[in-house]
Every structure is written in C-alpha cells, then in structure tokens.
Amino acid sequence: MSITPTSSIPAAETAAIIVSLVLIVGKIIILFVVCRKRAEIGKTSDNTQDSRFLTLTMDKFLNDMEREKPIRFTSQQLRIATDNFTNLLGSGGFGAVYKGIFSNGTIVAVKVLYANSNKRIEEQFMAEVSTIGRLYHFNLVRLYGFCFERNLRALVYEYMKNGSLDKYLFRDHKTLGFENLHQIAVGTARGIAYLHEECQHRIIHYDIKPGNILLDGSFSPKVADFGLAKLCNRENTHITMTGGRGTPGYAAPELWMPFPITHKCDVFSFGMLLFEIIGRRRNLDISLPESQKWFPKWVWKKFESGEVGDLIIVCGIEEKDRKMAERMVKVALWCVQHRPQLRPSMSVVVKMLEGAVEIPTPINPFEYMISEIPCPALPPHASQTSSILDSDSSQMTTGSNLVHATPIMKKYEIEIA
C-alpha cells in the first residue's frame, strides 16, 4: 500500500490558484485591450470627421483669405497669362493695359507701369497697392495682385468686359440709355462714398473722370486707377500738397492753388463727370457755338433762367427721364461749387441721385469766374445750406499732417495724410 505525501496537496492547490489568477488577469488584459481599441477606433472616427469638417470649412476660409490679399506674381506668370503681352486693351501716360487669362480661366487686366523715372513708378505702384489692395467694394475695381521685378512692374486687376465709361459718352455709338447712365452715376457715387466715409482711413482718389470708371459685363461701374490716390487720417481733414494733381477739366480749383485740400476735391470731379453723363459729351467742345462750348456753365445758365426743359431736349433725354435728369443737374451744380465746404458729401450725393432727400436750389458755382476774388465769400444763406448738404465736419489744421498708418507703411514710407 502506497501513501500520498501530504505536501503534494497544497502544491496542487497552489498551482490551481496560480492558473486561475493567470486566466483572470489574462481576461482583464484582453478586456482592457478590446475596450481601448474600441475607444481608439471611436476617437479615430471622430478625428476623421473633424478633419473632414476642417478641410471643407477651414480650407475654403483660408483660400478665401488668400484671395483677399494681393498676390505677388512673377513676370513669367504674367507673360504666360497675357501671351507675352499681345492683347492691348489701352494705354496712357501711366503705361499700358493688356488682357490676360490664367490657367484656372480667370480673365484679368494687367497694367504695366512705366514713367520717366523709377521713383515715379514706385510712387504709383505703392499708391495703388496700399489703397485698392486693402479694399473690396462692389463699385471699386478689384486688385488681384502685382509684379515688381527689375524688368516688369505691373498691377493685375479684374477684367472689365465693357471697358471705360468714356467710350459710351463721347463716341458715336451711344448705346446706353439714360436710365443706365443714371445707375452708373449712382454706383460711381457709392464707390467714392465708400472711399471717403467707410474705410478705416479715408482715401482721396484725386482723378475721378470717365476714363477711370470701368464697366463690367452688366454695365455696373467700378472706380479704377488709384495711381494718384492718398490715404487720409480722418482727424486731419485738410492736407497740404505740393504740385497739382488730377486731370485738367476734372480737378478741383484748390488742387491748382495754394489752399489746403480735402476729400471734397473728389466731389468736384464727380460733378464734372456728372455733367458729361447728362450731356453725353465732353464738357469742353470748341466745335459748338460759343454759349455751348463749356457745358457746365451752359447748364447753369439754363437752370438759372428756368429753361432746364430745353436743355433736356437738346441732350436727347426722353420725357420719362426728365425728373431724373433734373435731379442730376442740381446735384452736378452743387458738386462743382467753388468753395469745398459748399459741396455735399458723397453719401449725400447718393441720396440726392436716388431721390431719397430734397435737393436745395443750387447757387451759382461759377461766380468766381467773373470775380477778382480767387475764393469768394460765402453767400448769406450758404453756410446753412452747406450744413444740410454735408454730413462731415471740417476742422482746419495747419502744417504737415502726414502720418504713417501701419509699421509696414512706415517701413516703406507709404504716407497717409
């Protein structure tokens, strides 16, 4: 008979306990791994969804932001886009404009700058990029980008299918009806009002004229050519300038005199533009009878004598557009007042053209022409009228008001007044 050692029983129990513990720990580990894996899968799924969301939303946002600022193009890119500058759209003292198309189908107008000196080119380049390059408004031409290399200094703008307004006013094929012209006047006024009153820094254009009003495919107007423009500090409403600016015939009198300048010089230019829209002719036409050679003064004489109806007939304006035309005549006469403080602000001009406000009876804007006083005194009732027409306040400042808007503008000596 055999006897089982008593020590073997505890050993077997110990082994069983160890095996059980190993199994339990193994199950716990497996359960932990499974749970963690499921959590990682869920987290990965969430991350994937977030990634997709960010891709769709943020990528679009970042792309839009990238398009908002001017793009720096290379000369090679612009040569390819313009087919080596073969399709000339127009030219002038500033340079030449060519039509171009990028690989994505975007049609552009490329303005190649040239001048008598590199300094003049740099001044015009910085004026345009530092003003219109920072803005977006429906009635301002959009700057897509620029190129500044040794052999090419160019600005890239959105393409305006119907060209500039002057060809619809002064050429034989006057295809635009008066209602269209009125809408062009209103849109142009809105664009200038935005520059003067809605930007962080007021922008004075200095060269409002038909050649600088571009028309898109729907004949909506866009103010263009900011080569003479200046940023203006709102606290300093008058600025001192050396040398004349603007185009003779459109430039305000104070631009050619030793008087402080305000944004009202653009209002004067707009008034001269408005006269040409009304008459569909140049303001000065020496081929006409003496009394009609200078259109603005002829308009005043007709208005003063109560013969605006005759004027409207001569201008070929239909009876249905008579009230609209009479409104435009009054607005033009107020805009070209010799004293800047008598000219309305551009936001008021918009309201006048739209018929949203009553227009006071204009006073003679050309009285200074028969007076020896270069800047005539205000008529007794004029100061009260001026406050009605103008929503701006004007405080005279002396000396130089030139300051820098931002560190970058300061670094590159881009000045605001």
The binding site for ATP consists of 111
| Residue 114, token pair as written in the block | 């040239």
Note if 207 is an active site residue: yes
Q: Return phi, psi of residue 255, to 5°.
A: -70, -20
26: CB partners within 8 A, 6+ apart: none
* CB-neighbour burial class of residue 394 (10 A; exposed 0-12, middle 13-18, buried 19+): middle
156: CB partners within 8 A, 6+ apart: 71, 73, 78, 100, 108, 109, 110, 111, 143, 144, 145, 146, 147
Q: Which residue has the tokens 């910085």?
A: 126
Q: How many CB atoms lie within 10 A of CB 356?
A: 9
Instruction: Spell out a b/e string for 264-285, using b for 16 or more CB atoms within 10 Å of the CB, else e.
Output: bbbbbbbbbbbbbbbbbbbbee
* CB-neighbour burial class of residue 205 (10 A; exposed 0-12, middle 13-18, buried 19+): buried
Q: Which residue has the tokens 């994937």?
A: 48
d(CA 67, CA 147): 16
Eight-state DSSP code of residue 367: G
Distance (Å) of CA 280 to CA 10, 61, 284, 323, 324: 118, 44, 12, 17, 15
CA dihedral 396, 400, 404, 409 (to 10 degrees): 120
Packing angle between helix 346-354 and helix 264-279, nearest 10 degrees? 30
Given CA atoms 128, 134, 140, 144 in this order, what sign does their dihedral have?
positive
Q: How many CB atoms lie within 10 A of CB 291?
A: 10
d(CA 303, CA 289): 18
| Contact yes or no for 173/127 (Cβ under 8 A) | no
| Contact yes or no for 188/223 (Cβ under 8 A) | yes
The one catalytic residue among 207, 225, 266, 392: 207
Active site residues per annotation = 207
